[in-house]
């Protein structure tokens, strides 16, 4: 049995075409049931639904053989011991710094002010601001980062941006682009050895379904 860990939502939705290229169709709709283990048209392949930030943990400890997870999750601290063979080029977005439209970020940085930054990505943010020589106090949040500058909780946020609609709707502006993000295939190292042939078939099918980069 090959177990693939996915998170509900964009990762699940955007992985389906890649699975189709590997001849695998998920036979249950995660939005219509509370099931966490989903069967596929291949009796030897199943999908488990976990939280996005738990995908690397499931794969690392063998709860799943393979998984699809954002580069943001891997770099923030979830990538240890995982084989990361493919950039799947899905769930594309960027990690950025944003502030209220009326906040002068450039001047604050220039003057060497200490910034309060709210984010789910404390490790990535610490490294980014340290590399710029900007002093920051980090506040860890688990979601709705955009609210922090609006309520006075923070001067800035570090969050994912795709269309920019969420920032716009909350009168925030993007002031720095930290890095581009996309989803990666991650593989358990032991599974890669023990289940080499079926995993290799899935990897090859995914790779050939990707646009050439
Ligand atoms: P958790 O439930 O663990 O808090 P989450 O709610 O952030 O995770 P999703 O919103 O499904 O989970 O995001 C999963 C991944 O999709 C992220 O790790 C990121 O790589 C990518 N992603 C997040 N937001 C966007 C977006 N707006 N556009 C494109 N990709 C995104
Ligand atoms: C992500 C991110 C932003 C939004 C950006 O949230 O945290 O809030 O997407 O996308 P946009 O630039 O296209 O508006 P998501 O939709 O995943 O919600 P959640 O993380 O709060 O579940």
pLDDT at 213: 63
Contacts of 25 (CB under 8 A, 6+ apart): 19, 40, 41
Report the nearest-CA residue for atom 21 of ligand 1.
91
Same domain, 187 and 87: yes
Same domain, 106 and 132: yes
Q: Is the dihedral of CA 28, 34, 37, 43 positive or negative?
A: negative
pLDDT range class, residue 78, cuts 50, 70, 90? confident
Same domain, 113 and 59: no
Query: What total number of domains does the chain contain?
Result: 2
Rounded to the nearest angstrom, the distance between the alpha carbon of 199 and the centre of ligand 2 is 31
pLDDT tens digits, 35-47:
999 999 999 999 9
Same domain, 136 and 197: no
Q: Which ligand approaches the C-alpha of residue 74 most closely?
A: 1
Residue 14's domain comprises 2-91+182-209
User: Using a 6 Å cutoff on CB, does residue 162 contact ligand 2?
Assistant: yes
Ligand 2, pocket-test mutation among 166, 168, 169, most atoms within 8 A of CB: 166
pLDDT tens digits, 80-115:
899 999 999 999 999 999 999 999 999 999 999 999
How far apart are the C-alpha atoms of 97 and 178, rounded to whole Å? 7
pLDDT tens digits, 144-203:
999 999 999 999 999 999 999 999 999 999 999 999 999 999 999 999 999 999 999 999
Same domain, 77 and 65: yes
CATH number of the domain within which 23 lies: 3.40.190.10
Rounded to the nearest angstrom, the distance between the alpha carbon of 197 and the centre of ligand 1 is 31
Same domain, 106 and 162: yes
pLDDT at 177: 98
CB 56 within 8 A of CB 154: no
């Amino acid at each position: 049995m090959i177990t693939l860990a996915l998170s509900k939502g964009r990762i699940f939705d955007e992985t389906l075409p890649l699975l189709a290229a590997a001849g695998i169709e998920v036979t249950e709709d995660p939005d219509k049931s509370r099931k966490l283990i989903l069967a596929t048209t291949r009796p030897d392949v199943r999908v488990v639904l976990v939280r996005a930030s738990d995908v690397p943990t499931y794969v690392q400890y063998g709860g799943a053989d393979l998984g699809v997870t954002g580069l943001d999750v891997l770099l923030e601290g979830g990538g240890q011991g995982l084989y990361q063979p493919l950039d799947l080029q899905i769930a594309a977005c960027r990690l950025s710094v944003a502030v209220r439209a009326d906040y002068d970020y450039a001047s604050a940085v220039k003057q060497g002010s200490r910034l309060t930054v709210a984010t789910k990505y404390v490790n990535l943010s610490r490294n980014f601001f340290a590399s710029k020589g900007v002093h920051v106090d980090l506040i860890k949040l688990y979601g709705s980062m955009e609210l922090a500058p609006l309520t006075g909780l923070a001067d800035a946020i570090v969050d994912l941006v795709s269309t920019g609609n969420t920032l716009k709707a909350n009168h925030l502006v993007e002031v720095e682009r930290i890095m581009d993000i996309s989803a990666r295939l991650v593989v358990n190292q032991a599974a890669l050895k023990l289940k080499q042939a079926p995993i290799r078939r899935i990897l090859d099918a995914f790779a050939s379904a990707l646009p050439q980069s």
